[in-house]
Amino acid sequence: MEQHTNSKEPASLPHAIEELTALTREIGDKKPVLFLDYDGTLSPIVKNPEEALLSQKTKTCLQELAEIVPIAVVSGRDRADVKNKVGLENLIYAGSHGFDITGPNGLNMQYEGGEKAIPALDAAEKSLKEKLGNIEGAWVERKKYAIAVHYRNVAEEKEETVKKAVEEVINRQEKLKKGGGKKILELKPNIDWHKGRATLWLLDALELNDGKHTPLFIGDDVTDEDALEAIAGRGIGILVGTHGQTTAASYRLKDTEEVAEFLGKLQQLLSERGKG
């Protein structure tokens, strides 16, 4: 994550549902474009990431909203994985923090810098599995353009061993850089591409930088801060919960249930506006 300058304490932010009138006033007569993280935003964070599923309420909200506004799910998960988890065809899916993007009307982009890092990722994956294979609860998850080392289920006294192993592997792979999250360490291509740049790329690719649209990004983790910073001043950022650091968001929500509630209220407001 880059060093951001307009950061605030999450607790100081206005609540997005309580201040929905003010938030929609910021949107004005423009059309919102929704960018949504998955884990911790649309789906609760769980011990087994494969069990991170959408609630029916959230899925229904997304389905109804997608008929009104463009929606992109921007996730650290592999693009195919997050698309399968959400299960809606008319959304845009940006996987691996935006290295792999697909969407309706033939939208397809794979950031070429990610391809060049694949041999380094292959080598790092092998080393990490050798180093962490005997640590109970540690999981080395290989994605196409990244490796996620999960230690949520590792005993507390072993967490430092996991972190040290990741540092050792990173130090041997100059084409990779380390990222972080909630009980996750990531190894990613060492290039200037992240959720923020992917969000801006999508706005350009979809021709939505036209003064008639307002980007709205909702995320919960430090990896989402790049996107929250990218749209600051031109859109609305909402932080879900807290990640222990300051944020570039301008509103907050408590958890994934409040995200679903917010999406439902936003859908109602936009539908009423469309009828007016």
Active-site residue numbers? Answer: 37
Helix, strand and coil content of the chain, in percent to the nearest 5, comes to: 40, 25, 35
Helix (H, G, I), strand (E, B) or coil at 18: coil
* Calpha distance 231→200 (Å, rounded): 8
Closest CA relative to residue 9, chosen from 274, 252, 261, 235: 252
Q: In sequence order, what are the residues at sequence separation of 6 or more whose Cβ sits closer than 8 angstroms to the Cβ of residue 216?
A: 27, 32, 33, 34, 35, 231, 235, 236, 237, 238
Angle, helix 159-171 to helix 118-132, in steps of 10 degrees: 150
Q: In sequence order, what are the residues at sequence separation of 6 or more whose Cβ sits closer than 8 angstroms to the Cβ of residue 255?
A: 44, 240, 241
DSSP H or E stretch at residue 179: strand 176-181
Place of tokens 């060093």: 3
Helix (H, G, I), strand (E, B) or coil at 107: strand
* Calpha distance 58→61 (Å, rounded): 5
* Calpha distance 213→211 (Å, rounded): 6
